[in-house]
Amino acid sequence: MIIGVPKEIKNHEYRVGMVPASVRELINHGHSVFVETNAGIGIGFTDQDYIEAGAGILATAEEVFAQAEMIVKVKEPQAVERAMLREGQILFTYLHLAPDLPQTQDLVKSKAVCIAYETVTDNNGGLPLLAPMSEVAGRMSIQAGAQALEKSNAGRGMLLGGVPGVEPAKVVIIGGGMVGANAAKMAVGMGADVVILDRNVNVLRKLDDLFGNQVKAIYSTADALEKHVLDADLVIGGVLIPGAAAPKLVTKEHIKNMKPGAAIVDVAIDQGGCIETSTPTTHAEPTYIVDDVVHYCVANMPGAVPRTSTFALNNATLPYIIQLANKGYKQALNDNQHLLNGLNVINGQVTVKEVADNLGFDFIEPATALANA
């Protein structure tokens, strides 16, 4: 199979779909890989590094899309990239379709085979291709929140851990999954007063085992959420419903009644955000203010630490890339139910019910759509 790796073009996105070591693995399996020139420059890899791994270098994204049978990316394809997709071509990347009607419309129109990292599952009920970026984003959320709390950024002017004789900041984390646990790890390490809210008692037990009395693991009710959000200096939104738009748990009314200068980091913004006042921002302009509350809603947070992020992501995606390349998408998806769960769009049909329901498309079961392809 011919695999193409274009340069990412989203604002301040320096990650790359495949590192040279991953390219070498595909070459060893008998496949061809074409990489757009300078695609890896943001993480310190030159075209020569890719050439030494066996890749061919192409001058433009148009050439990569034209030659490749499978496109491997990091972020969702931008409009100019979606226009280059063709019928039957495999697209393997993060998509986050539920809140994104224009992208979904374009992918449906393209009739490409669109497999999303974030909906691939595993035997434990986890999301193995989302997990590494959730780990990165969770840890980064505390760094971002700490900066947002600085007075020069319109924050309350607080140090997360305080100092001897001065209380630390209160950090409230909504969602105790991969994002929440990693955010808590950083917040605890910085000496903050940490509360985690979740509706799954088993998750709360795990957090209690992990952190002991270093965090307060609270069952999330409307009352508990309101109480802790209004008392928070920093709120981290880490709620995920696989494939679906995030629920709006923190309302405009909550925001109005938060402390002036408090900060919010909405890690769920890729799926529409779990804060009612959240809208996507970029690394170039990461924050804005609503009712004196600083909002940080960057939709590609891990892009700020691209080397760490790319290696972590490639470690997870490479086995699936090899399966798709070795078997072709039909056999690979038929053989692996977890990879089939990653199928979002094929032959102009939407195969994720939450996406179809949220955006008004007809839904077709992935196995049925695959059989018809």
Annotated catalytic sites, by residue?
Answer: 96, 270
What are the E-state strand segments in the chain? 2-5, 32-36, 56-58, 70-72, 90-93, 113-116, 170-174, 193-198, 215-219, 234-237, 263-266, 287-290, 293-296, 343-346, 349-350
**Residue 292 marked ligand-binding:** no
User: How many CB atoms are closer than 10 A to CB 327?
Assistant: 15
- Dist. CA 152–CA 168, nearest whole Å: 19
User: Virtual CA dihedral for 253, 255, 256, 258, nearest 10 degrees?
Assistant: 120
- Dist. CA 352–CA 209, nearest whole Å: 35
- Dist. CA 337–CA 147, nearest whole Å: 42
Spatial CB neighbours of 51, under 8 Å, sequence gap ≥ 6: 57
**Residue 300 marked ligand-binding:** yes
At 347, which amino acid appears? N
**Residue 353 marked ligand-binding:** no
**Residue 362 marked ligand-binding:** no
Do the Cβ atoms of 275 and 264 come closer than 8 Å?
yes
**Residue 198 marked ligand-binding:** yes
**Residue 301 marked ligand-binding:** yes
**Residue 333 marked ligand-binding:** no
**Residue 57 marked ligand-binding:** no
Number of H helices, E strands in the chain: 14, 15
> How, if at all, do strands 287-290 and 293-296 pair?
antiparallel
**Residue 15 marked ligand-binding:** yes
**Residue 134 marked ligand-binding:** yes
**Residue 233 marked ligand-binding:** no
b/e for 248-258, b at 16 or more Cβ within 10 A? bbbbeebbeeb
**Residue 72 marked ligand-binding:** no
**Residue 290 marked ligand-binding:** no
The per-residue DSSP string of 21-67 comes to HHHHHHHHTT-EEEEETTTTGGGT--HHHHHHHT-EEESSHHHHHHH
Cross-strand partners of 213: none
Known binding-site positions? 15, 75, 134, 198, 220, 239-240, 267-270, 298-301
Known binding-site positions for substrate? 15, 75
Known binding-site positions for NAD(+)? 134, 198, 220, 239-240, 267-270, 298-301
